[in-house]
Amino acid sequence: GGVTTIDPGYKNTGSCESAITFLNGEEGILRYRGYSIEELAEKADFLEVAYLLIFGELPTQQQLDKFNEDIKEQSVVDDDVKKILDAFPKSAHPMGVLSSLTSALTAFNPSSVNVDSEEDMYNTVCKIMGKFPVLVAWTMRKKKGMPLSYGDSSLGYVENILNMMFSKPNETYKQSDILVNALDKLLILHADHEQNCSTSTVRIVGSAHTGLFASLSSGISALWGPLHGGANQAVLEMLEAIKEDGGDTKKFMAKAKDKNDPFRLMGFGHRVYKNFDPRAKIIKVAADEVLGDLGVEDPVLDIAKGLAAEALSDEYFVKRKLYPNVDFYSGIIYRAMGIPVEMFTVMFALGRLPGWIAQWKEMRNRKEPIGRPRQIYIGENLRDFKSIENR
Ligand code: CMC
């Protein structure tokens, strides 16, 4: 073996070659398969972007229709999964529930681990694209004590997600175009982000030839953390806390800068973006539009804008190149949609699903070796065993 060097947090270590997402953190550029995130958010819908990420090219109408049909075909979840869902207390965090249910899907779909032929891979992809939104919706409905629903499969993919989440028994749910478009955009913006913590997790778990669903379950667990996807929940809780406290943003800025205080400004900073997060730019505009269109006045949006303006002109944040990230404004839109705060990170997972799938598939197709980093041992040298009475 060669010389092992340590790179905590893998700040400068590449783990793979990838043809999926291009990211330039200095210039704030993000592209999926060569298409700019700005253009995709504007012109594509989420299912098209999912197809693009997973299969490498934008689908023709025929390919898209087939993908949609095949996903619908696979969207039924074994009824016994409800028993597992039932066993969770209502207080359970939805990310833990979702991770468990996603892993459990393997038991109900054992053939999903066969991905050696392109056809098997395609079927496994359609299965999870179909069943995952159902698990998301059920997780939320269970928490709210609402009967489980499959929504209306004649609707579009994103439209039916809202339907599955919000439809009431004996009532035709009419989702507004504003919400469908906003959710479409949010999901696209979250769909992939190269080798972040959860994606690296999905790839490394899959590198042991673990099945897709179990690998995704690990990715969901990684995403849960407040430094990663969990930040969107943490942002809203922080903004609420600032509001409750009387709205003094300066006080919280001071806390964030105090090195003896563990508090960080949630939704600020990024490992790779050092100028701006292009996703945050788009989401900020979308937040204004959605709230405007819905006629919602949310004082928390004003606090968020105030905080961002202060941070952008504050020496501490400027010096460390800390800017609002994707999670800073997304929660404000989710809240306007009526999504409970504990579900925010689940919505992130829903968006990231195609990215995780694409990265996992790429790793398998390229026959990457099992992920197995090295270490530098800093423990005791060889010593004699001490019998228990002598310790
Ligand atoms: N508030 C206050 N100080 C910060 C913050 C923040 N949000 N983020 C970084 N810093 C400081 C940090 O204390 C350090 O200061 P110093 O050089 O004096 O020790 C410096 O900036 C560099 O930070 P780091 O922790 O070494 O940077 P990192 O690349 O390891 O961490 C991060 C990146 C995103 C985890 C971090 O910025 C953070 O914790 N942000 C808040 C959580 C958040 O919003 N996460 C969502 C990220 S975007 C979506 C996603 O990935 O899911």
Is 224 a member of any domain? Answer: no
Residue 42: CB atoms within 10 A of its CB come to 11
Nearest atom (ligand 1) to Cα of 223: 52
Nearest Cα residue to 105 out of 78, 143, 139, 140: 78
**Neighbouring residues of 218: CB distance < 8 A, sequence distance ≥ 6:** 99, 201, 202, 205
Is 247 a member of any domain? Answer: yes
**Neighbouring residues of 90: CB distance < 8 A, sequence distance ≥ 6:** 142, 143, 145
Nearest atom (ligand 1) to Cα of 229: 52
Is 5 a member of any domain? Answer: no
Is 276 a member of any domain? Answer: yes
- The finding on whether 266 has its CB within 6 A of some atom of ligand 1 is yes
What ipTM was predicted for this assembly? 0.96
Domain count, the chain: 1
Q: Provide the residue range defining the domain that includes 277.
A: 231-336
Give the CATH number for residue 331: 1.10.230.10
- The finding on whether 68 has its CB within 6 A of some atom of ligand 1 is no
Burial of 99 (0-12, 13-18, 19+ CB in 10 A): buried
Question: What is the full per-residue pLDDT of the chain (391 aa) written as tens digits?
Answer: 688 999 999 999 999 999 999 999 999 999 999 999 999 999 999 999 999 999 999 999 999 999 999 999 999 999 999 999 999 999 999 999 999 999 999 999 999 999 999 999 999 999 999 999 999 999 999 999 999 999 898 999 999 999 999 998 877 777 788 899 999 999 999 999 999 999 999 999 999 999 999 999 999 999 999 999 999 999 999 999 999 999 999 999 999 999 999 999 999 999 999 889 999 999 999 888 888 988 888 889 889 989 999 999 999 999 999 999 999 999 999 998 999 999 999 999 999 999 999 999 999 999 999 999 999 999 999 999 999 999 9
323 C-alpha vs ligand 1 centroid, how far in Å? 10
Is residue 190 part of the annotated active site? The answer reads: no
**Neighbouring residues of 105: CB distance < 8 A, sequence distance ≥ 6:** 77, 81, 112, 127, 128, 131, 135, 213
Is residue 270 part of the annotated active site? The answer reads: yes
Is 307 a member of any domain? Answer: yes
